[in-house]
Amino acid sequence: MKYGDLNLGQIEAVVNKLGGMDGVNKFLRGELILSEPARRWREENGVIYFPINSDGTTGEQWIARLESKGFCVGDYAKSVLRSKSFKPTAGITCEIAVLKGEIFSDNERITKNIRKEAKNRKFSTPNAEVACLIREKFSDKELKAMGLCWIVTMHEPIKDSDGDSVLLSAGRNVDDSWLGTGYDYPGKEWNRSGGFAFVVSQVSGS
């Protein structure tokens, strides 16, 4: 794009971002430095890492909390959050590792192999609440920057309202940001556009 391609609306938006003409003048004098927002995650060899902290939010509270922030919580996800098997924790800090789907070949990207790879890396099984914490922590823009459409939390499976064993998943699509579920069984095939969350390390808060 050339400078001449900018319309008045775009120029005005740039000026507003800089804080008006005073900000523009400071920028031109070198008194105002622009920088990219710090990432809240890092990526190493196809694995994304970030910390999360649990705060004791119950499943029912998570439904209200996520929906109040504009996230769509699926019916099956709600049934999992309301299950007695959903057991929140408080004061736990975890380092999460997300194995990107692209590190597996298409014919090898099944649940059994994904869990085996995590075990080989000495990652452990996360609490189901991690899915909620991930959904709340990252915007769709951040998921896109990670190169992911969704992140499924590889917790111990919980039965949904139909009696199927499922995993909670946080994701995005064109229309909404959601917390949903995915079936869990050894031969389950997964798309390369997603990621699989495990725990690297876990410590209790003070």
pLDDT in tens, 2-16: 556 666 666 776 766
pTM: predicted TM-score of the whole model, two decimal places: 0.82
Alpha helix ranges (H) inside 1-45? 8-17, 20-28
> Given this model, what pLDDT does residue 3 score?
54
- Could you tell me if 74 and 167 are in contact, meaning their C-beta atoms sit under 8 angstroms apart? no
Per the structure, how many domains does the chain have? 2
64 and 20 in a common domain: no
184 and 100 in a common domain: yes
> Given this model, what pLDDT does residue 15 score?
67
Residue 193's pLDDT band (cuts 50, 70, 90):
very high
144 and 79 in a common domain: yes
| CA geometry: angle 9, 14, 16, nearest 5 deg | 90
177 and 134 in a common domain: yes
Q: Which tens digit of pLDDT belongs to each residue from 61-118?
A: 999 999 999 999 999 999 999 999 999 999 999 999 999 999 999 999 999 999 999 9
22 and 112 in a common domain: no
CA distance 169 to 151: 6
49 and 148 in a common domain: yes
Q: Which tens digit of pLDDT belongs to each residue from 130-159?
A: 999 999 999 999 999 999 999 999 999 999
132 and 31 in a common domain: no
Residue 34's pLDDT band (cuts 50, 70, 90):
low
CA distance 125 to 149: 21
> Given this model, what pLDDT does residue 201 score?
87
Instruction: Tell me: pLDDT of 163 over 60.
Output: yes
- Domain assignment of residue 26, given as a range: 1-35
102 and 28 in a common domain: no
Phi-psi region of 141 (alpha: psi -120 to 50; beta: other; left: phi over 0): alpha
96 and 10 in a common domain: no
25 and 105 in a common domain: no
Residue 28's pLDDT band (cuts 50, 70, 90):
confident
